[in-house]
Structure 1
Amino acid sequence: MDLASLNAFIAIAETGSFSLAGERLFLTQPAISKRIAGLEQQLKVRLFDRLGRVVSLTEAGRALLPRAYQILGVLDDTRRALTNLNGEISGRLTLATSHHIGLHRLPPLLRAFTRAYPQVALDIQFLDSEVAYEEVLHGRAELAVITLAPQTREPVRAVAVWDDPLDFVAAPEHPLAANGPITLKDVAKHPAVFPGGNTFTHHIVRRLFEAQGLTPNIGMSTNYLETIKMMVSIGLAWSVLPRTMLDEQVARLPLEGIQLRRQLGYILHSERTLSNAARAFMTLLDAQADLAPAAAKQLP
């Protein structure tokens, strides 16, 4: 079975488009179509239904997809295992991370890593934490440094590195910031700007409101915390931000008895062989976690 054709098959299955798959693999659409035609001829089944511009997997395609991931995963695993034998820390390290962590947590570690291991080519992908999780799960990234889910299931393993307290914030002139101690019920009456509904942070905050039988008034959403901070600072809404982002542009709301936090850390696929480069980067992350022992624990 041709591995290039399997890569094309996976790209189409994930993007739902021959043209988008071609862009991902730097191939023309006719070249992508030729690879799929060859694969279908070899397997003697149709893998995609093409109805106008809509491309969907057939039953045979759905059966092949997990096996295609497995085949390519085993090949990558074997390649890494053989490369590791020489003990060198070199090659390419594909690292996924969220925009916030990539901007505010990783720069010192990346600087130290590139100085210590100049032979490693870093491929850093800035993705939402939830998307980065899928990249690790399907073997497209060796490591992801992200906001950790409350629970992580095998074959993905999570290791906490940073404890990240979250604070309710508003513009300094916002009514919520000027009335002294307030309750969650008071906050729920005002418009909010939240991270997208698919994010781990959104679920953490929403569960807090639901526990008190409340529904936040979410008027806007974006996955970029810097954009949320800007919207809050000009008085459009309140929100929840990492404490590390607070400055004079926003005011911490005086909500008594409420403490929100999330864990930031890294995830890996427990059934895959890691490259020497990935292991070296994990050592740096673990050393960072050792600076805050309470956060340095493996999550369930």
Structure 2
Amino acid sequence: MDDRNWLILHLLYSQKNITKTAQLLFLTQPALTKRLMQIEAEFGVKIVNRGIKGVRFTPEGELLAKRAGQILTSIRDIREEVSNLQQSVAGTLRLGVSNFFAKYKLPGLLKLFSEQYPLVDFHVETGLSKDVLQKVYNHDVHIGFVRGDYSWHDQKRRLFAEKVLLVSRTETNLAQLPELPRIDYETDQMFKSLVDNWWAENYSKPPLISMKVDRGDTCKEMVLNGLGYAILPSMFVSDIVDLYKMELRSPENEPVLRNTWMFYHEESLEKNVVKAFIQFMEGIDLEGSEEKDES
């Protein structure tokens, strides 16, 4: 069976939906159904049963789908090993990146790296930091960019620290904060805990959450329109001068910070493309650029 068919089984098992799987593979639904029937004929078993809620894998289908994931991983590893034997910096660099880092930092970094190593292409997966951490742990990606002080016992490097700010359209009195409308956004548990701990250290009443939105950028726009205050990492608003900003501080008067890290496995350095990227990142001063962004 060719690689494409293994990929079909792998994706269909994760999506449990013919339409979504066809879209991911840039196939029509009839074409995907035909390929699935060919796979069933090749192995002589029924792989899936269709229902109103999607597809349900038979026991034989589940076995094949799980093997498909293993086979695709093996094929990927073999290709990387062959590329590595050529002693050149080439091939695919797999990165897991937090949504925010992917938007504000990653494009410029990849542009600079590509100028030095034009034979490298990139496979980038974005998501919340906790999900990126899991992808690095599982070797689904070579390197992860994670925001927050997650536990990691292999190789890591702190890239920069952001100040955590209270932002509002007009000057805000901290003593009145529990009575003022706050806009929250969907974020990872690490940042939520950071903000919740600061709040508990300063107030005995819960915040007045007037609005919850899905993204930090949306939250920022709500604040810009005077709909409430928000607590945001500094990079969200570093380029906006028309906002009131106040640094959150600990009881010891230290700034509340959110660190961004680069995580990877030491064994990944055996791959030329990974080693080259790590060395490239060691020459980049993101800490300095962050200070410049805030000034």
TM-score, scaled relative to structure 2: 0.76
Tell me how far 1:57 sits from its aligned partner. Answer: 4.0
Superposed CA RMSD: 3.6
- Percent identity over the alignment is 23
Change over 3 Å in CA distance of 1:44–1:149 after alignment to 2: farther
User: What is the identity, as a one-letter code, of the residue corresponding to 1:24?
Assistant: L
Deviation string 1:89-147 (CA, Å, 9 cap, x unpaired) is: 12333434334323433344323212211222334455444454465566654433232
Matching residue within 194, 200, 215 for 1:204: 194
CA distance, structure 2, for counterparts of residue 153 and residue 20 of structure 1: 37
Deviation string 1:145-166 (CA, Å, 9 cap, x unpaired) is: 2324623588xx6543222232
SS at match of 1:88: coil
> Contact 1:81/1:273 (CA < 8 Å) preserved in 2?
no
Aligned length: 282
Matching residue within 210, 216, 226 for 2:217: 226
> Contact 1:229/1:250 (CA < 8 Å) preserved in 2?
no
Unaligned runs of 5+ in 1: 293-300
Alignment of 1:257-272 (within 5 A): 257=250, 259-268=255-264
Matching residue within 219, 235, 241 for 2:232: 241
Counterpart of 2:274 in structure 1 is: 278
> Contact 2:160/2:286 (CA < 8 Å) preserved in 1?
no
Counterpart of 1:193 in structure 2 is: 183
Counterpart of 1:33 in structure 2 is: 33
Unaligned runs of 5+ in 2: 289-295
> Contact 2:186/2:215 (CA < 8 Å) preserved in 1?
no
CA distance, structure 2, for counterparts of residue 49 and residue 213 of structure 1: 55
User: What is the identity, as a one-letter code, of the residue corresponding to 1:266?
Assistant: M
TM-score, scaled relative to structure 1: 0.75
CA distance, structure 2, for counterparts of residue 161 and residue 290 of structure 1: 6
**Worse-superposed segment, 200-209 or 76-85:** 200-209
SS at match of 1:150: coil
Structure with more relative contact order (C-alpha pairs < 8 Å, separation 6 or more): 1
SS at match of 2:283: helix
Matching residue within 159, 162, 174 for 1:161: 159
> Contact 1:10/1:68 (CA < 8 Å) preserved in 2?
yes
User: Whose helix fraction is larger, Structure 1's or Structure 2's?
Assistant: 2
Alignment of 1:42-53 (within 5 A): 42=42, 46-53=46-53
